[in-house]
Amino acid sequence: MSDLEANIAAVMDELTRAMAEMKKSTNLEERLQYSTLVKNISDAYQTLTMAKNDQMMDDELEDWEEDDFEDGDDDDVDDE
């Protein structure tokens, strides 16, 4: 598991905990604080998953470029 995947898992754990605490709370002010926390954690999760997707696309592009180089194909045009 990469550091990025570990961070995503940690954020998901924190999000689950915050949502459970928000549901348990009967105090309106406390619920509002948890709601803000849940939103912030959700934003962090979205940012991390976008970074992971970018990383996966970069890795895929790198693999594709390496395959073309190994095949002796150094242009961007299909050789059909």
Write out pLDDT tens, residues 9-57.
999 999 999 999 989 989 999 999 999 999 999 999 999 999 999 999 9
Q: What is the pLDDT of residue 13?
A: 94
Q: What is the pLDDT of residue 77?
A: 55
* Helices 3-24 & 28-70 angle (0-180, nearest 10): 160
Tokens 């190994």 belong to: 70
Q: Are 34 and 22 in contact (CB under 8 A)?
A: yes
Q: Are 18 and 37 in contact (CB under 8 A)?
A: yes
Q: Taking the model in full, what pTM does it have?
A: 0.64
For the stretch 61-74, pLDDT in tens is 888 877 766 666 55
Work out the number of other CB atoms within 10 angstroms of the CB of residue 18.
20
Q: What is the pLDDT of residue 14?
A: 92
Task: Indicate the residue type of 34.
Answer: Y
